[in-house]
Amino acid sequence: MKLKLSLALILGIITFSSASLADTKIPLFTATSDAFSGTMNVGVDVDVDSNISDIYYTKSGMNTPVSLADLPSGVVIYQSGGKDAIIIMAQNFNSTSGGPLTLNYLYDGIQNIYHFFNFSITRQGQAWSAVANDQNGIPQKFTTMYLAAKRVFGSVIGIENITVQ
């Protein structure tokens, strides 16, 4: 009887502990475009110490985690017309302090030309933010991103540019 009670108590503590250790989602920015419909929300999942466990994006109600271990080789976060339209990459991203990231985006799907947009995810205390340099090279926090469509004869062939606010 005591063994069953002890085992039940231990299992209850483990269940309670793992539930309280669940990651917390912190939204960073919302991306919209005239090249694709809907919105894409991007954020980070953090643990109890506010360290990043993964980056996530949500499109059409579907939440998709991006492993930090996969960032150096790049992770496709949006496809269109059978092509990788947006790829997120980072070479020196750190779960405790963040770091620089690059969005490689399809500029011209006809000639398969990609451009890139650099930004960072930064930490201040327990808070996380998305940051990009403004036109003067001064880092600015942003919460919205707009991906402007590149069109030829009225058809979308890629992303012309990316702006943030």
Mean confidence (pLDDT) of the chain: 89
Name the residue among 137, 54, 49, 135 with its Cα closest to residue 98: 54
Provide mean pLDDT across the span 36-48. 96
pTM: 0.85
Q: Is 60 helix (H, G, I), strand (E, B) or coil?
A: coil
Burial label for 53, CB within 10 Å (0-12, 13-18, 19+), is middle
Residue 17 to residue 137: CA distance in whole angstroms: 45
State yes or no: pLDDT of 85 exceeds 70: yes
Residue 21 to residue 67: CA distance in whole angstroms: 18
State yes or no: pLDDT of 12 exceeds 80: no
Residues 6+ apart with CB under 8 A from 133: 118, 139, 140
Residue 45's pLDDT band (cuts 50, 70, 90) = very high
Provide mean pLDDT across the span 78-82. 94
Question: Is 40 in contact with 31 (CB distance < 8 Å)?
Answer: yes
Provide mean pLDDT across the span 117-135. 97
Question: Is 55 in contact with 66 (CB distance < 8 Å)?
Answer: yes
> How do the domains of the chain map onto residue ranges?
23-164
Provide mean pLDDT across the span 120-149. 97
How much is the pLDDT for 164?
97
pLDDT top residue among 2 and 55? 55
How much is the pLDDT for 32?
98
Q: Side chain identity at 139, as an amino acid letter?
A: P
How much is the pLDDT for 21?
53
